[in-house]
Each structure stands twice: as structure tokens, then as C-alpha cells.
Amino acid sequence: MRNRIVLGLVAFALALQAGYSREYKLDDFIEAVRENSKVLRLAAKQKETAREQKREARAGAFPQIGIEIGYTRNLSDYYMYFDLSSLLGGPPIVSKVPIKRDNELIATLGVNQTLFNASVLYAVKASRRYEALVEEVYQANEQAVINNAKKLFYQGILLDKVVDVAHKSEQNARENFRDVKLKYEQGQVSEFELLRAETRWRAAIPEVLQAERNRDLLINNLKNLAGIDPDVRVVLDGTLEGVPVFPEVVGIERALSARPDYNVLLNQEKLAGTGVRAARGSYLPVVKARAAFAYSSQSDAFKLEEENKLWMVGINLSLPVFTGGYRKAQVNKAKIELDKVRIRMQRMRDDVRTELNDVYLKLDEARQRMESTQSTLNVARKAFQIAEVTTRNGLTTQLDLKDARVALDRAALGSCMAHYDYLAAYFDWETATGLDQQLSFTFQ
């Protein structure tokens, strides 16, 4: 009995977990994407790396302070040999005197300060440029991720409608097949009519399965993008009935100044320019100052005796005279990198101009298709209303009414598809122009 209760509770818990669902509005979904996107998390880590690189570069301009302490226990004596005859006269008399104590302690404190080093100076500047570049990379990644997320969200709403229409079409075909089969058994229709009705019904079943599969695949991608638990049933709260108003025409210069991916190239150009100056800086001298304090003590006993203290200061200047053409090669490489960045900027300018033209063409084409599908929807709605009246009056059959209903649903689906295409083009317009992405729209 106890085992049955435990199994029942486990089954109930699993059923609750399997049936758990969560509703997402567009802004809720976008917020989840911002928090859980692996792409954005990696980009954020790159920003942290850039900050640490800036700290690393700045460290070269600060004093370097070091302390070294060493203790030595001498296990054997060390002697100094000298000739006493030079003092006493007579034949050579060699004598030796131990000059090492049993215990030695040496401590050194050193301070080194770079007074001038072009490499350090330009490394600090380059780290600042790199930090700004990484920030723009993050913005570009975020823009691409959010654009994709919004498309997935509305595509999910569209596929829900596709599944609904597919189910209604299959249900209508199944009921029609049953009616025709009943009439065939009564001898009212031919076998050909029966086979045609059955073919129509069975052909509708794969369409339902395909629609459900496409929706489920998209929902899985949507969950993965937003970091949603795979076991949670996602319900999308949105509509395709309205779309944003047709956007303004944005010029190439305004678009480039607002696009983070173009700003990445601008920062790359500045970074490459800094690289050229840094390479030229290798022709300049390096000046360093140093100061040190040394302390030593030695004794046969374990205590501080025979102490020596020494203070030292100094300055070093180093200047490479000949490096076999290495420095010139470094300067030329840096110039080539700068030229490559500028070529990429020119290419991107051309690409953005083409992208802007394409996105306006897509928007205009989608707007025209919305108008066309809306006219089709109005006709289908009127036909369905007429079918309702004629069916009540016995002038048409229930099958005709169901066909009119399916035609209306398909017309509504066609309108939704056109609206989705317009939304997708609008989101591409946001990316192409670099303007702030909106989660709510002024609908037309």
C-alpha cells in the first residue's frame, strides 16, 4: 500500500512538472534572452578581459618594487690566502684566513621606474581603444541576438496559427470523408467520389504532422536562445494583426554612425593607427631610473652582526642602433593592418548602402502583400457569411459551410504570413539603420 502511495505521488509530481507552462510576452522573452544568451555572456566576458588588459598596460607605467631576502648556512669554510713575507720579509710564508661566517643574511629592496618608453605609452592608448572596440562588439552582438529573438517570437506565433489551420483542414477533410462514405454505402455517390474524399483527408494528416514538427523545432530553438527549461511549455502572448508604421528613410551616413558594427571598424582604425605609432616608437630611446637598498649581515652565531648597508641610485638609457631591418618591418606591417581596416570600412559602406536599399524593397513588397491578403481575407469572410446564411436556409450543405470556414482560416493565415514578413523586414531595417530597437510599436 505504501509503495502505491509513493508511486502515485511521484507520478503526480511528474505530471505537474510536465504540465508546467509559462506565458511570455515579447518584452519578457527579450529580457530572458538578454540574461541567458550564451553569445552575450561570452561578449560580456570579453569586456571584462578588455578591462584587465587596460590595467595590465597601465601597470607598465607604474614603479616596479621588489624585495629579495636570502639566508645562507655555510657548511664549510672559505679562505683567503696571502703571503706574509711581504710584511715580515724572508722566505715566502703562505697563510690562510677564513672569510666566511657560518650564517649569512642578505636583503635587497629595489625600485625601478620607467621614465620614458614609447611602447608603454602606446600600449596604454591601445588598451583604451580596445576596450571601446569590445564595447561596440558587445552592442553589435546584442543587436543581432535581439533581432533574431524577435523574429523567433513572431515566427512562433505564426506557426501556432499554421498548426491551428492544419488541424481544422484535417478535421474538415475527415468529416467530409465520413459523410461521403455514408453516402457511398447508401449508393448516393460513386466509388471515385469516396476515394477522392479519402485521399484529401489522408493528405491532410502529414500536413498537420509537419506543421507541429516545425512549431516544436522552433520552440526548442526559442527555449535554447532564452535559456528556458526544456520541460517548460512555452505560451507566446502576442499578435500578428498589427504591424509598425512604414519607417522613415534613413541616409547612409546616419545609419553608419548608429551601427555598432561600423563603430567597431572605426575603433579598429584608431587601434591600427596606434599600432603604427607604437611601431615607430621602437626607434626612440628607453629611459629607466632605479634605486636600491642592500643590507647584509654575517655571524658564526645566529644573530645579526657585521652589518653592511648600501644605498644605490642610477639611470639607464637604451637605444637600439641596428636591428637588421626588424623595426622597419614592424612599421610596415602596422601600416598594412591600417590599410586593411580602411578597405573593410569602404566595403562595409557599400554593403550597408545595398542593405538599406534591399530592406526598403522588402518592406514595400511586404506592405503590398499585406494589402493583397487583406483583400483576400475580406472576400473569404464575406463568402463565409453568405455560406452561413445559405446553409441555414437549406440552399447549401454543411460541407460547403466547412469549406468556406477553411478558406477563411487559410486567408487569415495568409494575412498573418504577410504581416510576419513585414515584421521580419522591419526588424532587419532596425539592424540596417542601427536605430534603437523597440519592443512596442505604433501599429498601422
- Sheet with 286-299: strands ordered across: 64-73, 103-116, 286-299, 308-318
pLDDT at 180: 83
Compute the average pLDDT of residues 307-332: 92
Helical segments of 237-259, H only = 252-258
Decide if pLDDT at 101 tops 60.
yes
Band (pLDDT 50/70/90 cuts) for residue 428 is: very high
Determine the distance from the C-alpha atom of residue 65 to the mean position of all C-alpha atoms in its chain, rounded to a whole number: 40
The cell numbers describing 75, all together, are: 657548511
Strands 21-24 and 233-236, bridge-based pairing = parallel
- How many other C-beta atoms lie within 10 A of the C-beta of residue 2? 6
Residues 6+ apart with CB under 8 A from 174: 201, 204
Compute the average pLDDT of residues 173-186: 86
Band (pLDDT 50/70/90 cuts) for residue 99 is: confident
Residues 6+ apart with CB under 8 A from 186: none
Band (pLDDT 50/70/90 cuts) for residue 90 is: low
How far apart are the C-alpha atoms of 439 and 444, rounded to whole Å?
16
Report pLDDT digits (tens) over 229-243. Answer: 988 999 999 888 878
How much of the chain exceeds pLDDT 90, in percent? 51
Report pLDDT digits (tens) over 140-171. Answer: 999 999 999 999 999 999 999 899 988 988 88
pLDDT at 436: 65
Decide if pLDDT at 342 tops 80.
yes
Task: Tell me the one-letter amino acid at 305.
Answer: E
pLDDT at 287: 95
**Among candidates 260, 244, 228, 204, which has minimal Cα distance to 152?**
228
**From 25-34, 180-189, 419-428, the region with the lowest mean pLDDT:** 180-189
pLDDT at 394: 77
Burial class (CB in 10 A: 0-12, 13-18, 19+), 408: buried
- How many other C-beta atoms lie within 10 A of the C-beta of residue 268? 21
Report pLDDT digits (tens) over 255-303. Answer: 999 999 999 999 999 999 999 999 999 899 999 999 999 999 998 888 8
**Among candidates 376, 379, 398, which has minimal Cα distance to 388?**
398
pLDDT at 15: 42
How far apart are the C-alpha atoms of 146 and 347, rounded to whole Å?
25
Report helix, strand or coil for 120.
Answer: helix
Residues 6+ apart with CB under 8 A from 9: none
- Radius of gyration of the chain measured on its C-alpha atoms: 41
How far apart are the C-alpha atoms of 55 and 302, rounded to whole Å?
44
The pLDDT mean for the chain works out to 87
Report pLDDT digits (tens) over 373-423. Answer: 999 989 989 988 898 888 788 777 777 777 888 888 888 888 889 999 999
Band (pLDDT 50/70/90 cuts) for residue 333 is: very high
Instruction: Identify the top-confidence range among 5-19, 81-95, 373-387.
Output: 373-387
- How many other C-beta atoms lie within 10 A of the C-beta of residue 250? 17
Band (pLDDT 50/70/90 cuts) for residue 16 is: very low
Residue pair 186/197 in contact (Cβ under 8 Å)? The answer is no
Task: Tell me the one-letter amino acid at 149.
Answer: A
Residue pair 61/120 in contact (Cβ under 8 Å)? The answer is yes
The cell numbers describing 205, all together, are: 494528416
**From 11-15, 74-78, 90-94, 310-314, the region with the lowest mean pLDDT:** 11-15
Q: Distance of CA 263 to CAs 42, 133, 134, 142, 162, Å?
A: 20, 8, 10, 14, 41
pLDDT at 376: 92
Decide if pLDDT at 12 tops 50.
no
Compute the average pLDDT of residues 116-138: 90
Instruction: Identify the top-confidence range among 8-12, 302-306, 353-357.
Output: 353-357
**From 24-28, 172-176, 283-287, 338-342, the region with the lowest mean pLDDT:** 172-176
Report helix angle 260-280 to 118-185, nearest 10.
Answer: 150
Q: Which long-range contacts (CB under 8 A, 24 or more apart) does 365-368 make?
A: 366/418, 366/421, 366/422, 366/425, 367/246, 367/422
Phi, psi of 280 (to 5 degrees): -65, -30
Decide if pLDDT at 56 tops 70.
yes
Phi, psi of 391 (to 5 degrees): -70, -40
Residue pair 52/118 in contact (Cβ under 8 Å)? The answer is no
How far apart are the C-alpha atoms of 15 and 22, rounded to whole Å?
15
**From 15-19, 67-71, 387-391, the region with the lowest mean pLDDT:** 15-19
pTM value is: 0.77
pLDDT at 11: 47
The cell numbers describing 189, all together, are: 455517390
